[in-house]
Structure 1
Amino acid sequence: MLTLFSFSRIMLRHALQTPKHSPYSVPHSALPLCFPSTSSLHSHSHDEAFDSFSRMLFMRRPPLPITHFNMILAALAERNQFPTAISLFLQLQARGIALNLLTLNILINCCSSMGRMKLAFSVLAKIFMMGYQPDTVTLTTILKGLCLCGNVEKVLHFHDRVLALGFQFNEVSYGTLIQGFCNTGYRSAAIQVLRKTLPLLGIIPNVVMYSTIIDSLCTENLVTDAFHLFSEMLAEGISPDVQSYNIMINGFCKSKMLDEALSLFQEMLRKDLVPNTVTYTTLIDSLCKSKRISCALELLDKMHDRGQPANVVTYNSLLDGMFKNQQLDKALMLFNQMKKSGIDPNIRTYSILIDGLCKGGRLSDARAIFQDLSVKGCPPNVRTYNIMINGLCKEGLCEEALTLLSEMEHNGCLPNDVTSATIIHAFRQMSMTWRGMFFGKLIKEGIDLKLSNECVDSFLKNIYM
């Protein structure tokens, strides 16, 4: 298989010269690429893009310019329909349609995104053979593909080899490289690119590069390291944007460093940066988890005053915090306020409500909300069923819980480990007579709790305890 490194230096130098052909087309006699069979790559043959492409290719005489086909290929690549795009490219090649560099770049993107790097390098070889010079997009796309494969040595080898051959990467290339390293867990390599490689090349790191690494560090709970890098960014004269602050605030909140998060929030305001819905929601959620409900509600008011709309996630955090702090009536008032604001509750919202009401001793209210879910177009999921079953079992309404369990399976929600644990716990509270009746009903209704071996042992043990 041909690769970039298969070419001699003379051939590469020739490739760097101005091509003799038009930059928008290539000779029909250009060397064709060999790909696996179309059937193994193509899985969306009847979608609208495919049909449009086929009409353009077979019904027009002469065929439309390559730019029209590129638009469809690019759209397919953006939708991650890479096999379909490759399949259509093969049709272009078979019909002898003149390709341009953009076509081949799209093809490289498809191959790289699928992890088919040998094919990507074959396309790169074709670019050279056709007298073209690969541009930064070409090389950056291959760099991204190598990063996705997770082999740092190959990535660095390709990077160094490309520079040695006289090609150049730009800011976007290095942003892609840093993102690729972070996504595959090579944060130290990303930091090395930021601190050593870029200064040597005279490229100034930007806020996106810093934010990418900071986000990766926060994801791994390395918040102290992340904040050091955040501070380094400031010291280098690079101004963090709202996204950067959101990443760092979220990192602090997840590490239960709420005061540090609030300090950064105040810093944003001093710098006239406008916190967005994500900023406020992150802080509100952390305040609620820290049982600082009044502070969270104050922040919600400020959020509204500053023109930032709360969303369902914001309200879910508040409702969850209020129910867990036994503020049932206030939570229900907030729920009504949420609906009046035009925000539609989702299944998580209803699950929070039902759970809070069950634990607050208001089973009848929880039951009423649960029964209305399907009417509201928000059918319960496994978690919602588990909450309701648990609530019924705790009130000794085991037969009703069993009916609900049967309904759950009938509606396509298969019981999980939480369901099994709830039923086993309920067994422990029953008399021997009830245990036998309950177990018999389970068998009669044909309810399969999908119990593991350990659960089965525990289940059978609890029948006779």
Structure 2
Amino acid sequence: MGLQPSTVTVNTLIKGLCIRNQVGEALDFYDDIMAKGFQLNEVSYGTLVNGLCKLGKLRSAIKLVRKMERHSVKPHVVIYTTIIDSLCKCGQIVEAHAFKGQWQEANWLLHEMVLLIAIEPDVYMFNILIGAFCKEGKIIEAEVALGRMMKCGEIPTVVTYNSLMDGYCSMDNVNESKEVFNKMIRSGLAPTVVSFNILIDGLCKSNMVEEAKVPFKEMGHKSVDPNAWTYNSPIHGMCRLGKMSSVQDLVDDMHDSGVAPDVVACNILLNAFCKSRNIDQGIALFQQMVALGVQPNLRTLNILIYGLCKGDRVNDAWEILNTF
């Protein structure tokens, strides 16, 4: 018939194939129509890049961006964000020797966006980078990314500050994490339950359980409802210090606040009872846990079996084992 498909038609076909995870077929279709002289737009390329990234084919996605540039199609910020996000996530699971290359690629793409193509990264992209840097303990790089973010006129969000807080806590620098928390409040942002949880958890892991009571109380003043994670950190800290009366107060407060204990909380308490040779209390807790609908996991079983065997109660251990 001699009819040329429209860009909308082509984009619809490519999107349909990618949605069905037929990215290989979509790329074959791309090669075919490009060979016939048909020009794709940034939507077509964006769909293909997204499909490749979802399959973990990051090198192919980057090569496709290079093809875009050769065909005079300017990549938009979403395409770069998709690739950088995938590179950062991949960087968290690849082995150390390959990891360095992933970071170099992500940094180069950001550099390319800003200096070569004059695309300004948005706050979402910066948060991806800062979060990934912090997870990998690269706090200096995260601070550099924050500086670049602010230089680009992007305002840090609660997500930005939470990532930095978590990064400092993971490096056992809870004091700097507190500084970031206070800076967030001074900037006019309202900390979320995640913000408080990061700080409380960091303090408790640094054996600063008493200091953790300050942000814990502040949550009430700011009308931020605690969740199971909020309680798990101080419960674990108090158990580690052997302050079981304080643990009971926290459990009671947890109940009064309407927060249901999860398997993590139950395992923390169970471990504390078994270590202090209060096996009967441990069994009672296990039974209560099951009655409340909390699903025990393998760690629950290991703690209980170990405690019972250490207390010369092998028959009870077998009985518990048979209930799983």
Partner of 2:86 in structure 1?
Answer: 216
- Equivalents in 2 of 1:372, 1:297: separation in Å? 25
Q: Per the alignment, in what secondary structure is the counterpart of residue 373 of structure 1?
A: helix
Query: Helix, strand or coil for the counterpart of 2:204?
Result: helix
Aligned pair in 2 of structure 1 residues 141, 381: CA closer, same or farther (>3 Å)? Answer: farther
Instruction: Name the CA distance, whole Å, in 2 between partners of 1:321 and 1:135.
Output: 53
Structure 1 segment 32-111 matched on structure 2, within 5 A = none
Asked if the contact 1:406/1:447 (under 8 Å) is kept, the reply is: no
Give the letter aligned to residue 376 of structure 1: S
Q: Give a deviation string over 1:309-337, Cα, whole Å, max 9, x none.
A: 21111111111110000101110111111
Structure 1 counterpart of 2:75, which letter?
Answer: P
Residue 96 (structure 1) aligns with: none
**Of 112, 117, 121, which aligns to 1:232?**
112
Instruction: Check the 8 A contact 1:354/1:387 in 2, yes or no.
Output: yes
Deviation at residue 227 of structure 1 after TM alignment: 1.5
TM-score (norm: length of structure 2): 0.88
Q: CA deviation at 1:177?
A: 1.6
Is residue 165 of structure 2 the alignment partner of residue 294 of structure 1?
no
Q: Hey, which of these two has a bigger chunk of helix by percent?
A: 2
Whole-Å separation in 2 of the counterparts to 1:135 and 1:170 = 8
Consecutive unaligned residues in structure 1, runs of 5 or more: 1-9, 17-132, 451-465
Q: Deviations over 1:6-32 (max 9, x none)?
A: xxxx2xx34x5xxxxxxxxxxxxxxxx
- Which of these residues, 143, 151, 158, is aligned with residue 29 of structure 2? 158
Question: Take 2:113 and 2:211, find their aligned partners in 1: how far apart are those partners?
Answer: 43
For 2:194, the aligned partner's letter is V
Partner in structure 1 of residue 96 of structure 2: none
- Name the % identity: 34
Indicate conservation of the 8 Å contact 1:367/1:388, yes or no. Answer: no
Residue 376 of structure 1 and its aligned partner are, at CA, apart by 2.4
Whole-angstrom CA distance in 1 between matches of 2:13 and 2:306: 55
Q: State yes or no: 1:202 paired with 2:202.
A: no
Number of aligned pairs?
A: 313
The answer as to whether partners of 2:81 and 2:125 remain within 8 angstroms in 1 is: yes
Q: Secondary structure at the match of 1:225?
A: helix
Does residue 181 of the first structure (1) align with residue 52 of the second (2)?
A: yes
Partners of 1:162 and 1:179 in 2: how far apart?
A: 19
Quote how far apart the aligned CAs of 1:401 are: 0.8
The normalised TM-score by structure 1 is: 0.63
Contact 1:280–1:303, Cα closer than 8 Å, also in 2: yes
Higher Cα Rg: structure 1 or 2? 1
Task: Quote the offset at 1:208 in angstroms.
Answer: 1.4
Distance in 2 between residues matched to 1:179 and 1:257, nearest whole Å: 27
C-alpha distance 283-251 of structure 1, shift in aligned 2 (>3 A): same
Is the aligned partner of 1:246 residue 2:127?
Answer: yes
Q: Flag structure 2 segments of 5+ consecutive residues without an equivalent.
A: 92-101
SS of the residue 1:239 aligns to: coil
For 2:95, the equivalent position in structure 1 comes to none
1:386/1:418 contact within 8 Å kept: yes
1:403-434 CA distances to partner (integer Å, 9 max, x unpaired)?
Answer: 0101111222232110011113323542x3xx
The whole-number CA distance in structure 2 between the counterparts of 1:172 and 1:258 is 35
